[in-house]
A and B are shown apart, each in its own frame.
Chain A
Amino acid sequence: MRQFEEDRKEAVEIAARLLLVSATTTPRVGGVGECTTHILEDECDIEDLCQQIEKMSEENTAWDFFKRDAVILRDADAVLIVTSLRSLTDPADINCNMCGKLTCEYLREEQKLPQEPGVAFTGPLCSFRANNISYAIDGIISMARNLGIDYGVYWSAGAAAMRMEIVPKATGFAIGVGISVTEKSPFRDIPLRYGEINDKTMNDRIIQRLWPQFRSIYS
């Protein structure tokens, strides 16, 4: 059993790097690179991230689901954070108007939202650049599906990583992907009120025995 656990952890480390490969080689608009992928695989690092997500859930009434995300991500074996490094400071100069400012010059002049509680990303961002993240994320998803790895995508993890300043300074937008190599995917079968009622809080021995089935049925 001990050997299984060690091998499983090693498998996660290898898998996370393969996912990073797939994220890195996906298309980028205009063929200009700007995304980085960071792997959090130490459980203490993941716990720090989850605590930050929980803290942020208090900041904005729309972010109640952050608590649920934190609980789910605690069960992840690794978290990949994908960043967009050019969307904040370096518009793509193609005047696409996705940001609604007509030209990139106007977007540069626009005042950004302040870095304060309740603001996750200090927009307006260059949407054209930030869209690159979607390719990287789908690269991870596509490879995870090929490898048979469970995954979940959470923007709360990206926002928390930016707040913790564990991603490059120029990051304008970030999204997190949790991966798990376990028999039961922690990212599926999420019942209502999962933020307060979950494996960690249901620590009674009898409940522990009944809970996995309950979760599977009532989600």
Chain B
Amino acid sequence: MAIIEMDDLIKNGLDKAVELMAVAAHNSFRFGNRNTMKMISVGNEELEQIAEFCFSLGDMSPLAARDGRFVMELIKEPAALLIFGDTRKSPYNFNCGACGYRTCAEMNKAEEVESLTANGPSCQFKNINLNIAANAAASLAWRLGLHCRVFSTLGFGARAMEIIKDVDLVISVSVSVAKVNPYFDRHKFWTQDYWDEIFKKEFPTFDRGFIGAVED
């Protein structure tokens, strides 16, 4: 019997897992029984592009910068990113009011507001369907024992870089087979001094005697 090395096993397993996650997302529950979602999986090269874009946002979006810096670390071990996208207009005719317009027709006619992250206004049920698909993928990843985290920032990055095209709304699910869960408690990214400095800046009253007291 042929011997397959662990690295190959893990890599192939990850590819299959991503395919299965895509199937789970594709068949997930959705309102209005309409599957209009677009879905792509991206490899390391695109992940690097997304990471650089997110990191370049720097102080403008600390959350995106954090995720950009993190992805550069993430791709050192086998990882993948599933990106889900959908258009913003409502085909449902629910007239629910969640988007701020009384009817779906009014919302569909409203002027489109473009931005890097998403185009609005968008149908809340389109959003919900998209995110349910993301959770179906995440839920399968969890069951398969993969490390997994849902990222809106990387999705926004992919849309801004036009890696996923012709969509107004995006969300992404990242999975990894790293030896240690890379997605949570990412303490290695900051030193104690940096953390203390940021904490002092964000919560200045924590070390003061009472709220509002400033010592010269």
A residues with a Cβ closer than 8 A to B are: 26-27, 29-30, 60, 62-63, 94-102, 110, 112-113, 118-125, 127-128, 130-131, 133-135, 137-139, 141-142, 153, 155, 159, 173, 175
24 contacts between A and B (CB under 8 A): A26-B139, A29-B150, A62-B95, A62-B103, A95-B117, A96-B117, A96-B156, A98-B118, A99-B120, A100-B99, A100-B110, A100-B121, A112-B100, A121-B124, A123-B98, A124-B99, A125-B98, A125-B124, A127-B99, A130-B98, A141-B132, A142-B139, A153-B31, A155-B125
Chain B: minimal CB distance from A103 (Å): 9
B119 contacts the other chain (Cβ, under 8 Å)?
yes
User: Which 8 pairs show the lowest CB-CB distances between chains A and B?
Assistant: A100-B120, A124-B100, A100-B121, A134-B131, A138-B135, A123-B100, A97-B115, A62-B95
* Chain B 179-197: CB-based contact to A (< 8 A → 1; otherwise 0): 0000000000000000000
Instruction: Determine the distance from Cα of A137 to Cα of B156 in the docked complex, in whole angstroms.
Output: 23
How many A-B pairs fall under 8 Å by CB?
148
Instruction: Determine the distance from Cα of A155 to Cα of B92 in the docked complex, in whole angstroms.
Output: 12
| Nearest A residue to B123, CB-CB | A127
Whether the Cβ atoms of A94 and B98 lie closer than 8 Å is no
Instruction: Determine the distance from Cα of A60 to Cα of B120 in the docked complex, in whole angstroms.
Output: 25
* Chain B 106-129: CB-based contact to A (< 8 A → 1; otherwise 0): 000010111101111110110111
Instruction: Determine the distance from Cα of A98 to Cα of B124 in the docked complex, in whole angstroms.
Output: 9
Whether the Cβ atoms of A135 and B131 lie closer than 8 Å is yes
| Nearest A residue to B169, CB-CB | A98
Given A98-B169, A125-B124, A128-B152, 10 other A-B contacts at CB below 8 A? A60-B95, A98-B117, A98-B118, A99-B100, A100-B119, A127-B124, A131-B130, A134-B132, A141-B28, A173-B98
Instruction: Determine the distance from Cα of A175 to Cα of B120 in the docked complex, in whole angstroms.
Output: 22
Please indicate the chain B residues that have their CB under 8 angstroms from the CB of A135 in the complex: 131-132, 134-135, 150
Interface size for B (C-beta < 8 A) is 47
Please indicate the chain B residues that have their CB under 8 angstroms from the CB of A142 in the complex: 135-136, 139
Please indicate the chain A residues that have their CB under 8 angstroms from the CB of B152 in the complex: 29-30, 94, 96, 128
Given the known A-B contacts A120-B97, A138-B139, A142-B136, are A113 and B117 also in contact in the complex, defined by CB atoms under 8 Å? no
Please indicate the chain A residues that have their CB under 8 angstroms from the CB of B171 in the complex: 131
| Nearest B residue to A172, CB-CB | B98
Instruction: Determine the distance from Cα of A98 to Cα of B113 in the docked complex, in whole angstroms.
Output: 9
Whether the Cβ atoms of B94 and A30 lie closer than 8 Å is no
Instruction: Determine the distance from Cα of A134 to Cα of B128 in the docked complex, in whole angstroms.
Output: 5
Whether the Cβ atoms of A118 and B119 lie closer than 8 Å is no
Instruction: Determine the distance from Cα of A135 to Cα of B156 in the docked complex, in whole angstroms.
Output: 19
Given the known A-B contacts A102-B113, A123-B124, are A113 and B31 also in contact in the complex, defined by CB atoms under 8 Å? no
| Nearest A residue to B148, CB-CB | A27
Please indicate the chain A residues that have their CB under 8 angstroms from the CB of B128 in the complex: 130-131, 133-134, 137, 175
Instruction: Determine the distance from Cα of A60 to Cα of B96 in the docked complex, in whole angstroms.
Output: 9
* Chain B 62-101: CB-based contact to A (< 8 A → 1; otherwise 0): 0100000000000000000000000000000111111111
